[in-house]
A and B are shown apart, each in its own frame.
Chain A
Amino acid sequence: MDNATINIVNTIGDVYGVEAEDGQKVFELIIRSFTKKKKVTLSFRNIEILTTAFLNTAVGQLYKDFPEEYIKDNLRVADISESGKVALKRVVDTAKLYYKDPEALKRSIEEII
């Protein structure tokens, strides 16, 4: 089997994808699949509410360990709501910037002082 489908509702046991630690469970399954060279489909079917905290741990932190191109080629999402799509895009764009320049946050604090 070259592809893995991760059913988020089943993985976290909830139709609310809201807590960061639940996102971690999804993240760990993606990592296991990626390390076995599998392409992953993340199914958001029946997810009712999403927070960016959940999406940061589930997906955002992938950009720490994998290049953007690898994630683009090997991860797809299915059955996500419109607002979920907007939130996920924000999470992904933020993660790409963050891991390119983690010191930017500290600089933004220094600019205030």
Chain B
Amino acid sequence: MTLQNQMNKLVKIDNTFESFQSLIDFYENHKDMQFGEIHLELRPLFAANMSAALGAVLDKFISNLNAIHFDYVSPEIEVILSNNDFFTYFGKSRLIDTNTNTIKFQKLKPTDGKYFKKYVIEELLEGHIADLTRMSNGLKERIIEAIYEIFVNAQIHSETKFIYTCGQFFPNKNKVEFTIVDTGIGFREKINNRFGSKLKATQAIKWAVEDKKTTKEGISGGIGLSLLKEFVEVNNGKMQIVSNDGFYQFDDDGESLKMFDGEFPGTIVNLQFRTDDFNNYTLKSEISINDIF
């Protein structure tokens, strides 16, 4: 077996650093190929939300007019990627979703804000009744706002052609995962272009998640990611950012940063929230309406 064939087996892809590294290896291995045939095997397991990242990588190959062949997909992964509509985008027949835990794979243009709203309502607010009824309205609102902050960040900053989203409810584990991926310029280039700096990807991500840090010119910002981080902390959730060769994670164990070998062609933001979070998010804040400005 050649090295290239080995690289095209994606095995045990979940949300670990090593799983992201496997996707990056797969991308690096074929990023310069044109008019080629790319063969892929997906073997247990494959976390549904990671189809957003895989879809982004496959689209990079397809934009170079390569053909993608799924040589082997293990039966349980076949069910997941059919149910979440992923395979619809990659040449397989569309199936009717019978799995209510799935949050569909979606490929949107950055200008498709209205479609994203419909998707959020159908997939996160009105679908999945069994999971959602357990969550308070305040929690649902916080999760939707967090997801929107990331979507809007990708719209404003990434210079991507498409934004890829996907997710999954885990009723038995009381959590929901949601992933937003772009194939734009990444945190590092965005920040270095703006400030003429030479930050590494990890330094760029760490800077961007700090409060009030923005690359926007002439207008303040930089609140979305720090609000998200604060919510993740209260919720006992997790956030991961993969951008180029940088990896950032924030969870119960605090912040951690690592570098990948090779680069992801854009940014992945992976969010995990607890659905059994009984904090009162509608509690009246101490801010008076007369004391905002």
Question: Cβ of A8 < 8 Å from any Cβ of B?
Answer: no
Smallest CB gap from A113: residue in B: B197
When the two chains form the complex, which single residue of A85, A91, A105 contacts B285, counting CB atoms closer than 8 Å? A85
A63 to B219, CA, bound (A): 9
B9–chain A nearest beta-carbon distance, Å: 38
Question: Cβ of A9 < 8 Å from any Cβ of B?
Answer: no
Q: Using known A-B contacts A61-B219, A85-B285, A90-B223, determine if residue A49 contacts B141 with beta carbons closer than 8 Å.
A: yes
- For chain B, the count of residues having a C-beta within 8 Å of the partner chain is 45
Chain A binder among B19-27, B33-41, B210-218: B210-218
- Do the beta carbons of B224 and A51 come within 8 Å of each other? yes
Residues on the B chain within 8 Å of A14, using CB: 117
When the two chains form the complex, which single residue of B198, B211, B283 contacts A113, counting CB atoms closer than 8 Å? B198
When the two chains form the complex, which single residue of A19, A49, A105 contacts B213, counting CB atoms closer than 8 Å? A105
- Do the beta carbons of B220 and A56 come within 8 Å of each other? yes
Please encode chain A, from 45 to 62, with 1 for each CB lying within 8 Å of some chain B CB and 0 for all others: 000111111101100110
- Do the beta carbons of B220 and A61 come within 8 Å of each other? yes
Question: Cβ of A87 < 8 Å from any Cβ of B?
Answer: yes
Question: Cβ of B287 < 8 Å from any Cβ of A?
Answer: yes
A99 to B227, CA, bound (A): 21
Question: Cβ of B156 < 8 Å from any Cβ of A?
Answer: yes
A14 to B142, CA, bound (A): 19
10 nearest A-B residue pairs (beta carbon) = A98-B220, A52-B223, A95-B220, A53-B152, A72-B293, A109-B195, A18-B148, A109-B197, A61-B219, A56-B221
Chain A positions near chain B (C-beta within 8 angstroms): 14, 16, 18-20, 48-54, 56-57, 60-61, 63-64, 68, 71-72, 75-78, 80-83, 85-92, 94-95, 97-99, 105-106, 108-110, 112-113
